[in-house]
Amino acid sequence: MHYIILDTSSILFAAANKKDAFKAIEAKFPNCKIMISTGVLRELRGISSNAGRRGAAAKLSLEMLGYKKVNVDNVSGNVDSWISRKASSPGVRAIVTNDDQLARKLRGGGAAVFKISREGFLR
C-alpha cells in the first residue's frame, strides 16, 4: 500500500479556500491512502477553538476527517518531525504541505512534495 502524508497546513488552506484536499489527493494519486498523525488532529482541535476564518476552517476540516477514510498514525509528537521521519519510509509516495519552510526541508531530503493550490489542485 502507498501513502500520501497530509499536513495540517494543507488541510486548513484547502478548507479556508473552499477546496477539498482529499479529492485533490485522490485525483493525483488514485490508488494511495491518505495518512495523518494524531498530532494533526491535535493541531486542528486547538485551532478550531479560535474565532474567525481559521477556526472555522479547522472545524470544517475536523468534520471532513470524520467522513474520509484516512489512516491515523498514533504518534502525538511534533507534526513536522513526524512528517520528516515518515517522508523516507517505504510506501510513502508524497507529502502534501502548504508550509513553505517544511516543504523546502523535505525537498532538500529528496521527498516528493506538493501543495494545494487556490484552485484545489496539487502542485
Number of domains within the chain: 1
Domain-located, residue 120 = no
Domain-located, residue 28 = yes
Please list the alpha-helical segments (H only) found in the chain.
8-16, 21-28, 38-48, 53-67, 79-86, 100-108
Q: Write the pLDDT tens digit of every residue in 61-105.
A: 999 999 998 999 999 789 999 999 999 999 999 999 999 999 999
Q: Write the pLDDT tens digit of every residue in 5-55.
A: 999 999 999 999 999 999 999 999 999 999 999 999 999 999 999 999 999
Q: Which domain holds residue 94?
A: 2-114
Domain-located, residue 18 = yes
- The 8-class DSSP code of residue 120 comes to S
Domain-located, residue 122 = no
What CATH number did the domain enclosing 94 receive? 3.40.50.1010
pLDDT at 1: 87
pLDDT at 27: 96
